[in-house]
């Protein structure tokens, strides 16, 4: 089955492409099409993932997979949440991380988690989207470490491993992460639906 991977985030592409190929998909990155960005005006990860997948289906006529994800910080009442990619007003990952550290200056409760929702739509009007979720618990460190991964990975500390997400090899991150869990669920759903 041909499927469009509906994301403009290269970090996500790297973490999803191989796994989706293992499911038997022929994965077409969104960059191969001339797709304007979807208007992500949903108020939840699920809504935004559906919006992005539907947008890609509409514009390509193909099935699509989208990921909407983000970081929830307890001391910030769940922020940046669905606004994680634009936390520092679209100035990019480094600015997002700087802002997060600044907001948490002097804060002792560092608990946080990554959330990921992956949606699979067979076509734009698919009435039964497959919706998969994953969560990854951790803490926001006091300074950045590591150069793997993307986004908030340098600040995301995993107590059980004693390291930051950006210090994990790609394969290790896949087995633990919010995205890895959502992908594992997707595999189960697709197998049980026998839709491939
Ligand atoms: P698309 O909408 O095109 O997929 P995006 O980056 O804008 O790309 P989101 O709106 O879902 O996607 O924002 C997700 C943000 O959450 C992402 O930009 C990172 O800042 C953060 N994030 C999600 N998963 C992450 C991960 O595994 N490691 C680090 N940061 C992550």
ipTM: 0.99
| Burial degree of 151 (CB within 10 A; 0-12, 13-18, 19+) | buried
Give the integer Cα–Cα distance in Å for 53 and 63: 8
- Taking a C-beta distance cutoff of 8 angstroms, is the pair 80, 87 a contact? yes
Residue whose C-alpha is closest to residue 139's, from 106, 163, 117? 163
Residue whose C-alpha is closest to residue 53's, from 91, 113, 4? 4
Give the integer Cα–Cα distance in Å for 124 and 192: 22
The catalytic residue positions are 68
Please give the distance, rounded to the nearest whole angstrom, from the Cα atom of residue 69 to the centre of ligand 1: 5
Which amino acids bring their CB within 6 angstroms of ligand 1? 7-9, 12, 52, 67-71, 84-85, 96, 114, 149-153, 177, 179
- Give the chain's domains with CATH numbers: 2-193 (3.90.950.10)
Give the integer Cα–Cα distance in Å for 131 and 140: 28
Work out which ligand 1 atom sits closest to the CA atom of 179: 27
For atom 11 of ligand 1, the residue with the nearest CA is: 68
pLDDT for 134? 98
- Threshold 0.95, pTM exceeds: yes
pLDDT for 192? 80
Which of helix, strand or coil describes residue 137? Answer: strand
138 carries a ligand binding annotation: no
Residue 103 is inside which H or E element, if any?
A: helix 93-103
- Taking a C-beta distance cutoff of 8 angstroms, is the pair 50, 121 a contact? yes
Please give the distance, rounded to the nearest whole angstrom, from the Cα atom of residue 171 to the centre of ligand 1: 18
Work out which ligand 1 atom sits closest to the CA atom of 45: 11
List strand residue ranges (DSSP E) for 44-190, in order.
64-73, 111-121, 130-140, 156-158, 163-164
- Taking a C-beta distance cutoff of 8 angstroms, is the pair 71, 136 a contact? no
Please give the distance, rounded to the nearest whole angstrom, from the Cα atom of residue 29 to the centre of ligand 1: 16
pLDDT for 105? 98
109 carries a ligand binding annotation: no
Please give the distance, rounded to the nearest whole angstrom, from the Cα atom of residue 84 to the centre of ligand 1: 7
The pLDDT averaged over each successive group of 10 residues in the chain (196 residues) is 97 97 96 94 98 98 98 98 97 98 98 99 98 98 98 98 98 98 96 65
Residue whose C-alpha is closest to residue 119's, from 164, 54, 37, 176? 54
Task: Tokens for 189, please give them.
Answer: 């759903």
């Amino acid at each position: 089955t041909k499927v469009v991977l509906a994301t403009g985030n290269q970090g996500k592409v790297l973490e999803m492409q191989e796994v989706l190929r293992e499911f038997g998909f022929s994965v077409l990155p969104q960059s191969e099409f001339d797709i304007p960005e979807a208007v992500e005006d949903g108020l939840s990860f699920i809504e935004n993932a559906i919006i992005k997948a539907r947008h890609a289906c509409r514009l390509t006529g193909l099935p699509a997979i989208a990921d909407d994800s983000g970081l929830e910080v307890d001391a910030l009442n769940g922020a940046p949440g669905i606004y994680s990619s634009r936390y520092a007003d679209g100035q990019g990952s480094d600015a997002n991380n700087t802002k997060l550290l600044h907001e948490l200056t002097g804060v002792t409760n560092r608990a946080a988690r990554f959330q990921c929702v992956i949606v699979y739509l067979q076509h734009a009007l698919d009435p039964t989207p497959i919706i998969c979720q994953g969560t990854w618990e951790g803490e926001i460190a006091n300074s950045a470490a590591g150069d793997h991964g993307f986004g908030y990975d340098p600040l995301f500390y995993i107590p059980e491993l004693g390291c930051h997400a950006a210090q994990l090899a790609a394969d290790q991150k896949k087995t633990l992460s919010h995205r890895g869990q959502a992908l594992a669920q997707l595999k189960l759903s697709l197998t049980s639906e026998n839709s491939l």
